[in-house]
A and B are shown apart, each in its own frame.
Chain A
């Protein structure tokens, strides 16, 4: 690759034919693996929980694969490249959040549940209303998470293929959606776990190579790298290494930073697709091992993103990133192009693409499981359903979710994907986490408390997002262009000033759980709590691995 790129060539990144060839090979390989792995899919335990036969390290790598989505790679790199130190909060919050999952949730959940979060929540509460609420919360979290992945997919392809037109990008989102439906329909959980493992290894290896490459360019001196980013940004570049570039302007934006920090740290342990992964291992001890593995892999990856973000700032420059197709989310692929030309760009993009596909598949199967298992089998059919009937409904749900994701992806184009994922975290922390913790640790907690907390957290969170600047009314002060999802700047119903609702909705949900519990006259079930507590701590009666 010639280092003497002109400005005109620089916006048209790489050769689309090379990009797509590398991508196509990768997708073909993963599909073959899915088809091979899917031969053993027989029961519902196979389809949802991979037969519970994965080892801790395998499952930990798959968890890292699930977690390191487009948000972690494309979103965080972009946030650090453009906003410097403020973008670093995403890495820290996303990582520290795993301690909540490790210490308070993973093992206890593995010991008491079967397939989904709702199994645990409805353990000692009234089955049907709690399952319904948990399933709805799951669907809401998955919806916001999918929006983010689709926005990332759209931006990435826009950059790869040089597609600027809205119609072209919409077509690409449709193709991604179709591939994802195929993945899940054919493979089930066992298939997606293997895809996650392969993809996590490729993503972490690719990021490691790029990190070493960037550091080598700056004599393995982090301070020199930061200086490079400062110099490239021009006037005011010093702000990149100081806090407050994005969130420091006013008291309201500082409150937004706090709100984001709260949602990030409390969101992970309430993410249904992450919780579901604890059921793909044979025991609580393996669940622990898998989380320890995941924390190491995820933490190391986030250290890479710090270097990659500043590296993109230093070698590509914030202005070039912002004006490229895909905007802020294109920092990492542009950095790959600056380092290794078309080949590295093609490889990194293929990995990023596989990342999005795999995460979308994981999310979709969670949504499908929660609809088929919680709403259809337990609420509509009241538990009287054949296992294969449930799987059939799950497959139909996959198709429906696929279509919704395609529509949502078209709507959410152009937003930073890490920011969008943080909204899913806020929903998870508001609707799910309080009830999970209360039902595991608070003897008196009852159905009424769970419903107040889940619906209160879910509704307040979603309503606050709808009336936030994310959806309408945010205008770039320099260009006058809309920064919200609704591009018409004359429409403005943003009456809530914060872009992340966590600081309001999360404490509210915790409070409602207490109020709802205390106001209810429901009879306590000490025998159910005893069973849950004993099982959660000792593992007695836990679901075993499926033997083939």
Chain B
């Protein structure tokens, strides 16, 4: 089934087009995919960020440990925040471009053609 406006099933008489789309399996699948990606990713970077902040705030000795020359553990972990931010950005962009856009575009076309 590709035409989301023809999703079967009884609903209240005043149900809108958007509600029909919202109930459709295509949209539910899109929504699930989106949430399954961005929510765990958000949790991941927030936990990593606050782990870093707590270490910088309460583990001064660990963070001041010198690894090489004057390069400390704290500096390396701080730079690690940059690395992880760049990595998550690229991973998300790749995922969205390859996996998400096509499905979203198809649904959008169907909705807009249906409305016209």
**Interface of A toward B, CB cutoff 8 Å:** 85, 88-89, 92-93, 95-96, 98-100, 102-104, 107, 221-224, 226-227, 230, 241-244, 247-248, 254, 257-258, 261, 265, 285, 288-289, 291-292, 295-296, 299, 302-303, 526-527, 530-531, 533-535, 537-541
CB-CB under 8 A from A531, the residues of chain B are: 16, 18
Distance of A172 Cα from B46 Cα, bound (Å)? 42
The answer to whether B85 and A295 touch across the interface, beta carbons within 8 angstroms, is: yes
**Quick one: CB contact mask for B55-95 with A, threshold 8 Å, 1 for yes?**
01110100110001111101100110110011011101100
User: Are A526 and B86 also in contact (CB < 8 A) when A230-B70, A540-B107, A541-B112 are?
Assistant: no
**Which residues on the B side are within 8 Å of A537 (C-beta)?**
27, 30-31, 34, 104
Q: Are A100 and B96 also in contact (CB < 8 A) when A530-B22, A531-B18 are?
A: no
Residues of B within 8 A of A244 (CB): 57, 60
Beyond the given pairs A223-B69, A530-B19, 13 more chain A to chain B contacts, judged by CB atoms under 8 angstroms and listed by A's residue number, are A92-B82, A241-B75, A242-B64, A254-B57, A258-B54, A265-B49, A285-B97, A288-B96, A292-B90, A534-B27, A539-B108, A540-B107, A540-B108
* Shortest CB distance A112–B (Å): 12
- How many whole Å from B88's CB to the nearest CB in chain A? 6
- Give me the interface of B with A, judged by CB distance under 8 Å: 15-16, 18-19, 21-22, 27, 30-31, 34, 38, 41-42, 45-46, 49-50, 52-54, 56-58, 60, 63-64, 68-72, 74-75, 78-79, 81-82, 85-86, 88-90, 92-93, 96-97, 101, 104-105, 107-108, 111-112, 115
Contact between B82 and A527 (Cβ–Cβ < 8 Å)? no
- Main DSSP-derived SS at the A contact region: helix
Specify which of A88, A258, A295 is in contact with B78 (CB 8 Å cutoff).
Answer: A88
What residues on A are CB-neighbors of B52 within 8 Å?
92
A10 CA to B59 CA, complexed, in Å: 39
With a cutoff of 8 Å between Cβ atoms, the chain B residues found around residue A102 in the complex are 89, 92
- Of B15, B56, B72, B81, most A-chain CB atoms within 10 Å: B56
Which residues of chain A have C-beta atoms less than 8 A from B69's C-beta?
Answer: 221-224, 226-227
**Cα(A222)–Cα(B104), bound, Å:** 46
Task: Name the distance in Å between A284's Cβ and chain B's nearest Cβ.
Answer: 8
| B104 engages A538 (CB within 8 Å) | yes
CA distance A285 to B96 in the complex (A): 9
Q: How far is the CA of A184 from the CA of B57 in the complex (A)?
A: 42
Interchain CA distance A531-B16 in the complex, whole Å = 9
| Least CB distance, B40 to chain A, in whole angstroms | 10
